[in-house]
Amino acid sequence: MKFAILINSAPFSHQASDTAYQFCQAALNKGHLIHRVFFYHDAVYIGSSLMCPPQDEPNITVHWQNLAKQHGFDLAICIAAALRRGVLNEQEAKRYGKSSANLAAEFKIVGLGQLVEACLTADRLMVFGG
């Protein structure tokens, strides 16, 4: 089965990202595919390269990067949600006259059309967070 994943909640105030990550690991271990993980609303903070969690907490950004690299799926960040929250790639930082970008490697800023395409391509959409 091919899954599309939608995460809506911030990484450190809600369990959604951790639960989604564990779901993806379990699904991949059972031979399923992940087509795309789409980060929306406050979940876009997961794609920031500037997050520095305490040493005794998992770095969810690095976990997602490694899993996506290993299994070849997209980590998509909603452009509208990202811009509102200051998560920028080089192109958007330049467009808005910001001094630097902070989008973590492996993450891509995309439009909502990529979520729609993921829903149409996947067998199931799994939604994590409110």
Between 97 and 14, whose confidence is greater? Answer: 97
Whether 105 has a pLDDT exceeding 90, the answer reads yes
Tell me whether residue 78 is one of the annotated catalytic residues.
Answer: yes
Q: How confident is the model at residue 16 (pLDDT cuts 50, 70, 90)?
A: very high
Between 118 and 130, whose confidence is greater? Answer: 118
Q: Which fold has domain 2-128?
A: Hypothetical Protein Ychn; Chain: A, (3.40.1260)
Whether 13 has a pLDDT exceeding 90, the answer reads no
According to the 3-state scheme, what is the secondary structure of 51-97? CCCCCCCCCHHHHHHHHHHHHCCEEEEEHHHHHHCCCCCHHHHHHCC
**59-103, pLDDT tens digit by residue?**
999 999 999 999 999 999 999 999 999 999 999 999 999 999 999
